[in-house]
Amino acid sequence: MMNSRKWYTPGQVVRRLGRADWVFADGGDVVGVCCELGVSEQRYYPVAESVWWSQG
């Protein structure tokens, strides 16, 4: 059975979160960021929260 889940490399995650920063800077919201990145809100929050916590 094939795993249909798409895995991203660390570099891809960093680029996507960088893109999210740009969307937020342009006045976007979480829904807009998720739409731009092609991810669900349920998936965005855990990833973003782990990045925020790691930055201290």
Retrieve residue 16's tokens.
């996507």
- Reading phi first (left if > 0) and then psi (alpha if -120 to 50, else beta), residue 27 is in left
Domain boundaries, the chain: 30-56
Distances (CA, A) of 49 to 1, 3, 4, 41: 32, 26, 25, 12
Q: What SS3 state is found at 53?
A: helix
Q: Which pLDDT value is given to residue 43?
A: 74
Record the pTM. Answer: 0.58
Cα gap 56→44, rounded to integer Å:
19
pLDDT tens digit sequence for 13-37: 888 888 888 888 898 888 888 888 8
Q: Which of 42, 40, 34, 5 is nearest to 17 (CA)?
A: 34
